[in-house]
Amino acid sequence: MTDPPATPEPQEIIEIRFTVEPAYRGWRLDHYLQIRLGRLSRTRIADIIRRILTLNGNAVRKPGVRVKPGDQILIRRPAPVERDVPRNFEELARGPGYLAVYKPAGLPVHPSAHYWHNTLTALVRERYGEDSGLNMAHRLDRETSGIVLFGTDPASTRQLKMAFRDGLVKKRYLALVHGDLAQSCEVDAPIGPASDSVIRLRMGVRSDGQPSHTELIPRERFGDHTLVEAHPHTGRQHQIRVHLEHLGHPVVGDKLYGHPDRFFLTIVAHGGMPPELKSTLMLERHALHAAHIRFPVPDGSGAEAQVHAPLPPDMESLITRLRR
């Protein structure tokens, strides 16, 4: 007698809910979702609306439908099969209206097609509770380590985001780069989608891009490598990495910049890092760290706060080897 076939476990379904705020009265649904869901393409947003979204319990299908305050948006999709990531983060500082945490390299900050539970936003909810009021005020790339700021309530989050937008937040990064960067410099080079790449994520310097300004200061030189302090005065996607590649000093461990497209595509095709590429990269993630931030305290007092995050062990270990 043969055993009956095993009943497959039901797949976990993720539900994402939004209640449209008064400030978005009359907005197109797709424009509202681009604000709330982050950096998704218009094509991806339209696909979500057609297939897995309801508005006030009804399918809508049309991206251009107008929303009004109180509208209930529900997105239901299967949970992704997630890769393991570091799930630890450290609280660095807390003050009026803000929380600063240390994000480890490898931990995504926001949910995406590939991550849901293994994100900084999910871990913050787990630690502080769903009703904590904490909301992220800016982003770091998944492989970048360092400081991330949260507002502790909607008004504080809004003030922090406005401070970033208006250039009132001063950030200092540390990057380990290839080559000998001999002296300090400032890079004023506009950034936009890379015109010479088939990789949609890749950005590049181009004359019709958005104005982008980075100050770079060499802090320690190791012959063929340099530890660089980077001060981004604008906030473009991948700005520091793009500007360093533009100078001929790409970040150590960077899979996207400093190599031909085929390098990144090989990693994607293998679903991870092939052994033969590890020695080329020197580090399994790009060596970029958000080390220091100075920002207006979001309480209307006019005071400023500063937060520092020390270099993580992987960068410290590599720098120690280079010093020998």
With tokens 């239901």, the residue in question is: 76
Is residue 75 within 8 A of residue 36, CB to CB? The reply is no
d(CA 264, CA 194): 14
Give the long-range contacts of residues 48-55, CB within 8 A, separation 24 or more: 48/75, 52/76, 52/77, 55/29
Catalytic residue (one of 3, 71, 141, 261): 141
Residues 6+ apart with CB under 8 A from 104: 86, 88, 89, 145, 312
d(CA 264, CA 1): 51
d(CA 314, CA 120): 20
Is residue 318 within 8 A of residue 282, CB to CB? The reply is yes
Beta strands in the chain (DSSP E): 13-19, 53-55, 58-59, 72-78, 90-95, 98-103, 135-136, 145-151, 170-178, 185-188, 191-193, 203-205, 213-221, 225-232, 288-296, 304-308
Nearest alpha-carbon partner for 78 in 150, 173, 13, 9: 13
- Concerning whether 254 is annotated as a catalytic residue, the answer is no
d(CA 215, CA 54): 46
Nearest alpha-carbon partner for 17 in 79, 66, 74: 74
Nearest alpha-carbon partner for 46 in 20, 59, 64: 64
Q: At what angle do helices 42-51 and 29-37 cross, to 10 degrees?
A: 110
Is residue 258 within 8 A of residue 284, CB to CB? The reply is no
Rg of the Cα trace of the chain? 22
Catalytic amino acids? 141
